[in-house]
Homo-oligomer: A and B are copies of this chain.
Amino acid sequence: MPGLTIGDTIPNIQADSTHGRISLYDYFGDSWGIIFSHPGDFTPVCTTELGMMAAKAEEFSKRGVKLVGLSCDDVQSHNEWIKDIEAFNKGKKVTYPILADPKREIFKELNMVDPDEKDPSGGAVPSRALHIIGPDKKVKLSFLYPASTGRNIEEVLRVLDSLQRATKHKVATPVNWKPGDKCVITPSVSDEQAKQMFPNGYETLELPSKKNYLRFTNV
């Protein structure tokens, strides 16, 4: 199935939400954004996920990231369900909007279709997709998880920190990186440039190839 992937510009979706009518471009503005889908309201994994997104709202806000949820249910259903999420989540408020897609169009446009799950009438339902959107409205990174598998919000925060650091410096983050760990200098930066760009220095690992591409630094 064709669909939105990394590098693509997201469409400027207009939809009803728990915060009223929303245009995605206006909502995200010049910020980083996350749009994430869930198979359905009043279902178990989704309740835990949207609760955790609410609990971590401050972490997203600190990083300047705006959140928006999406499922095919209508706004009334979302509003009723939010009471369950907040109760499960010990009162932490769901402060981000959840889009309604009762015509079942938006989630297909956003490559958020679950291949195996169907609603009671046999219609397609959203997967647990999560796209990270840059300030330029392009998809920077995507998680495409099926209904069976709840996402890991710690991993979402980890990759946000990586993406934002890479945007600010000429670095990339190695496997399993977390904030505080060293980054690597990207190959497009020469050693001469690196000396100027990273005044605190960097360490070049010696490798059998004698190619000095593995350069670690703290930024």
A contact set with B: CB distance below 8 Å = 1-3, 5-8, 42-45, 47-49, 51-52, 80-81, 83-84, 87-88, 111, 113-116, 127, 138, 140-155, 158-159, 162-163, 166-167, 171-177, 184-187, 205, 207-209, 211, 213-215
Contact = CB atoms under 8 A, between A and B. Distances in A.
A82 to B, nearest CB: 10
Given A5-B144, A143-B143, 12 more contacts: A2-B2, A5-B5, A6-B114, A6-B127, A6-B146, A83-B208, A87-B207, A88-B205, A142-B144, A143-B144, A148-B162, A150-B177
A179 to B, nearest CB: 13
Contact of A148 (B48, B116, B166): B166
9 A-B pairs closest in CB distance: A7-B115, A2-B2, A148-B166, A48-B174, A44-B184, A142-B144, A84-B207, A149-B162, A48-B175
A163 to B, nearest CB: 6
A177 B215 CA distance: 34
Nearest to A8: B1
Nearest to A143: B143
Contacts of A88: 205, 207, 214
B159 A145 contact: yes
A116 B7 contact: yes
A184 B144 contact: no
B148 A172 contact: yes
Most chain B CB atoms below 10 A, which of A49, A111, A163, A215: A111
